[in-house]
Structure 1
């Protein structure tokens, strides 16, 4: 097992959520540090798993990593991130080069109006300050806190800074929509991420461009103060970029 020295990176204060920094942003920052310092290199990332141990604050994040196995085509890294000496995240990343093989698409992009035909929505600033870095246009009639019948949200999303849709941006996008339970609730409450796993497709190996992405999030099950959310991210041309699944803690309503 190869162990590397600690690498310092930073959590952007603009990506603040209800409880600490936005989980997707923290995972993307960790991924960038792992690739730069420990593993991956030019190989595309295939899977990223991040466990959130405590809310991350804006500022330095000290990331350390170990590479238990590395071959000609794959490399794996186990990492942890600390702030002020306390653990904030732990996780793993798998990198692997591409090769010719069978293609199959079982998750086609939903048939919805384009972003130019959808109205923008602003998430409440006190709930999601990070949303100021995004433009979000719901693609269906399902809206946050509208008391709908199904726990699913589908929207066109783009970064206001025009960043390319690389792996880090895609990780962030898997977590940018409100928790899917918001589609059936009428009042807000914290639903922080406890764990997020993102599986990337070969479309991220190529240039996915920038601009709009279509993002879907839905809750498959909730109970005992926990929820399981599934998300999908498609490029504007319909290519599937990533699938995400996360475990969330469902807090009680705040007065």
Structure 2
């Protein structure tokens, strides 16, 4: 088992190029789980930006499948102004760009506009009463072994659900082992959020492939107080699905109901 911190700690200092080894146990069919690739690219960009500039947004485009083995990450700062830095990172295998990411980091500004996000809605079930997605070898992707995802409402993948949403809880399986000496920060959050299957899979009655095409996250700062045993709340809804493409959005809250992030995805559906 290769843990999250073992992969992320391959990036340890600011540089424009990193050599990363992708382990087998984070697989998703013929590709590597997109959340760990997104986490790697985010971390590479984060290391190259002044820590006083906080993460505001992240956009990821999955160009092709990242496979097990060596991967090169190239970082390029696009612009750094008086308060905002725009930066990009690319994951390269066999001289081909397989994934691209762009992030915005910015310092706080004085503003007369102050609107707090709404707290998490009341959950349909508490975490201990919600059903966990099991790992079933040959049916669920290998990366599912890394996470706990518990359904409070909405359908499991391939259940033929009539619901257009998923509501539940998530954390790394064995949080302390996965995080090691790392804090639970945006890198961990990015990786964890993408563990959830597209809601379109819940609508299907039998297994069929679906994958993320693009993924965008907006961070609600400050992100703090998350610990190794935190259960995060996740609620996602289908906005639209037609002609083999679907658009979904999700909100993620801390255990005390504070909004942490907003996630949006375009998914491709092969059914």
Calculate the TM-score normalised by the size of structure 2.
0.83
Deviates most, 127-136 or 139-148: 139-148
Assess if the C-alpha contact under 8 Å between 1:219 and 1:229 holds in 2.
yes
From 168, 175, 196, give the equivalent of 1:155: 168
Q: Give, in angstroms, the shift of residue 72 of structure 1.
A: 3.7
From 42, 54, 58, give the equivalent of 1:48: 58
From 111, 117, 134, give the equivalent of 1:105: 117
Structure 2 CA distance for aligned equivalents of residues 213 and 100 of structure 1: 30
Q: Give, in angstroms, the shift of residue 99 of structure 1.
A: 4.6
Deviates most, 63-72 or 177-186: 63-72
Return closer, same or farther for 1:217/1:124 CA change in 2, 3 Å cut-off: farther
Q: Is the partner of 2:132 in helix, strand or coil?
A: coil
From 191, 196, 200, give the equivalent of 1:181: 200
Structure 2 CA distance for aligned equivalents of residues 46 and 69 of structure 1: 15
Q: Give, in angstroms, the shift of residue 231 of structure 1.
A: 1.8
The answer for unaligned runs of 5 or more in structure 1 is: none
RMSD: 2.1
Calculate the TM-score normalised by the size of structure 1.
0.88
Assess if the C-alpha contact under 8 Å between 1:34 and 1:40 holds in 2.
no
Q: Give, in angstroms, the shift of residue 19 of structure 1.
A: 3.7
1:112-142 per-residue CA deviation (whole Å, 9 max, x = no partner) reads: 3221222323154333211111112111253
Structure 1 CA distance for aligned equivalents of residues 225 and 20 of structure 2: 25
Structure 1 CA distance for aligned equivalents of residues 106 and 149 of structure 2: 32
The answer for unaligned runs of 5 or more in structure 2 is: 1-14
Assess if the C-alpha contact under 8 Å between 1:120 and 1:135 holds in 2.
yes
Q: Is the partner of 1:202 in helix, strand or coil?
A: coil
Q: Give, in angstroms, the shift of residue 42 of structure 1.
A: 4.3
Q: Is the partner of 2:31 in helix, strand or coil?
A: coil
Q: Give, in angstroms, the shift of residue 208 of structure 1.
A: 2.5
Assess if the C-alpha contact under 8 Å between 1:174 and 1:232 holds in 2.
no
The number of residues matched between the two structures is 247
Q: Give, in angstroms, the shift of residue 107 of structure 1.
A: 6.1
From 231, 241, 245, give the equivalent of 2:260: 241
Runs of 4+ in 1 over 6 A off after TM superposition: none
